[in-house]
Structure 1
Amino acid sequence: MRIGVLTGGGDCPGLNPAIRAVVRRAETYEYEVLGFKNGWAGMLGEGDAERLTQASVSGILPLGGTMLGTSRTNPLKKEEHVQQVQENFRRYGLDALVAIGGDDTLSVAARLHERGLKTVGCPKTMDNDVRNTEYCIGFSTAITRAESAIQRQRTTVGSHERIGIFRVFGRDAGYTALYTAYVTNIRCVIPEYKVDLDKLIHLLVEDKRSNPSNYSLVILSEGAEWVGYETIHVGEADAFGHQKKVNVGDVLA
């Protein structure tokens, strides 16, 4: 049996360990593994793949990023690209393909599965917003890094007696902001619920007054909104239709 593996979308800690796990597990069954370069781009044209073995993935466990490279290529935008992916399945003799990525990468894998290709999705997103899974690669690191950064800013915000505003991942889901707020014991605003701005400001001012160091903090998901404000999009959409969002932290400030 021959298995393909690719990584798509943004990079995050945990991708290389996931690739390594696929290879090591496959070799216990004497399966062959091919790694496709730069996400779905590696499945276009004549394909771009390399043989992966335990030797080639040795030492990548503690490394960030992805040894296979990544991209935001969306083959579903053109039927000819879908056909190229299907042809490369046959050309490389793949029995199955493991796609490691978030909503966008896995949505492509799901559509290809509907067309008869055997695909396996491995959820990777710092937003933790892939449905039907409890844990996504990259999420725990997003929380620990956000928590660490915010805790280091407490003395600075307190020294200037300000209200500190932090923006974290979360285009459409507030898991990262919510969990970070939980472990840092501060307030948060998430996309799932529009807060009353006057009430939020009142709470932050009261938090500041009741704090002996005279400061308060709040975390915003990048897609957070409040009554009377909707997310502002700018720039061209990417291959999956996503536009950049105006910095909601600047808007609140």
Structure 2
Amino acid sequence: MSTLVEQLIQSEAHKSIFESAVRQLPLPVCAAFGSSSSPQPVAFSDTGRVLSTKDSEGVRAQFPQSVAASGNAVLASAGASGAKVQGKRVAVLFSGGPAAGGHNVVCGLKRVLGPGNTLFGVKAGPKGLLKGSLFEITDANVDFILNTGGFDFLGSDRTKIKSAEQFAQVRETCIRHNLDAIVVVGGDDSNTNAAVLAESLFTGVKADGSGVQVIGVPKTIDGDLQVGDLLSISFGFDTATRIYSEMVGNILQDTSSSLKYWHFVKLMGRSASHVALEVA
């Protein structure tokens, strides 16, 4: 009996009326990338603006190849890219805590890469990258996860990649799967991981001596991954705070009919709780 119930639950998982309806909604995309049905790659141009921080020299010393190549320049969209890219092999992974929007990053990557390129999912975050736990993401996968959930499609963890042995494991994964790029979807710790990986994989991975690109996608519901006017907020924050504020509002309504009770609401957040401020 229990086995039958388990099979029934499994067969009905993620097939609620709500989830089925949100899958029919278009994929939200930035205007620069075109339409939701067929997002397009864009070219970038140098804005002439350079990012600098109080520890710029320390960063340059830690990431000499990355800084030399990018010049810490801020780029802007220069319209649709005319170049047709084929044969690229890209891996995407989630890192850190879950946030709404993670699945749509995967959907966007799959659609913008198109049929001439391959997108791999990394199971269980950075730990899966070390183990080489990759699988090819299909159009059917994308249709199923569109506009849904947080990070459950790939899973996530908080492994820090910092030892020589770990860097060697990642390099081996890149070689085994012939990767051209790795996309890390995560918060500040995860994007630090991405920066360190980018420097480690900058050269000497492929047979011709070239490396593997590492791209960080800013995600955190804490709202503490900001870069002035360039990155006002990371995805996940708006959804989380709207849901929290609805819950707090419901409790507030309830207090008027239960006057003898005090309600204390504890919200997550790091050193500065942007979440608590936004919900309030």
Q: TM-score range by the shorter chain?
A: 0.5 to 0.7
Q: CA deviation at 1:162?
A: 5.0
Partners of 1:72 and 1:142 in 2: CA distance: 20
- SS of alignment partner, residue 59 of structure 1: helix
Partner of 1:69: 155
Could you tell me how far apart the structure 1 residues matched to 2:233 and 2:187 are? 12
In 2, Cα distance between equivalents of 1:121 and 1:153:
38
Counterpart for residue 160 of structure 1: 259
Among 84, 90, 103, the residue aligned to 2:188: 103
Matched, 1:131 2:226: yes
Paired AA for residue 16 in structure 1? H
Residue of structure 1 in register with 2:176 after alignment: 91
Aligned counterparts of 1:173 and 1:120: Cα–Cα separation in 2: 26
RMSD: 1.7
Corresponding residue number in structure 1 for 2:129: 43
Which SS does the other structure have where 1:165 is aligned? Answer: coil
Q: After the TM superposition, which residues 51-66 of structure 1 pair with which residues of structure 2 at under 5 Å, given as runs?
A: 51-66=136-151
**What are the within-5 Å matches in structure 2 for residues 137-148 of structure 1?**
137-148=235-246
C-alpha contact 2:241 2:279 (8 A) present in aligned 1: yes
Give the secondary-structure state (helix, strand or coil) at the position aligned to 1:71.
coil
Question: Mind listing any 5+ residue stretches in structure 2 that lack a counterpart?
Answer: 1-87, 203-211
- Contact map agreement 2:222 2:275 (CA 8 A) in 1: yes
1:30-69 Cα distance to aligned partner (Å, 9 max, x none): 2211111110011113x00001122222121132132111
Structure 1 gaps of 5+ residues are: 182-253
Report the TM-score, using the length of structure 1 for normalisation.
0.66
CA contact (8 A) 2:226 2:233 kept: no
Structure-1 residue corresponding to 2:276:
177
Aligned equivalents of 2:188, 2:182: Cα separation in 1: 17
In the TM superposition, 1:9-20 aligns within 5 A as: 9-20=96-107
The two structures have a TM-score, normalised by structure 2, of 0.60
User: For residue 42 of structure 1, what is the amino acid of its counterpart?
Assistant: G
Contact 2:198-2:214 at 8 Å conserved across structures: yes
Distance 2:175 2:134 in 1: 14
* More off after superposition, 143-152 vs 164-173: 164-173
AA matched with 2:117: Y
**Are the aligned partners of 2:100 and 2:149 in contact in 1 as well (CA < 8 Å)?**
yes
Q: 2:216 is aligned with what amino acid?
A: G
Cα pair 1:44 1:88 within 8 Å, conserved: yes
Asked whether the 8 Å contact 1:126–1:169 carries over to 2, the reply is no
Matched, 1:25 2:82: no
Q: Is the 8 A contact 2:110 2:119 kept in 1?
A: yes
Q: CA deviation at 1:118?
A: 1.3
| Count of matched residue pairs | 178
Identical pairs, percent: 33
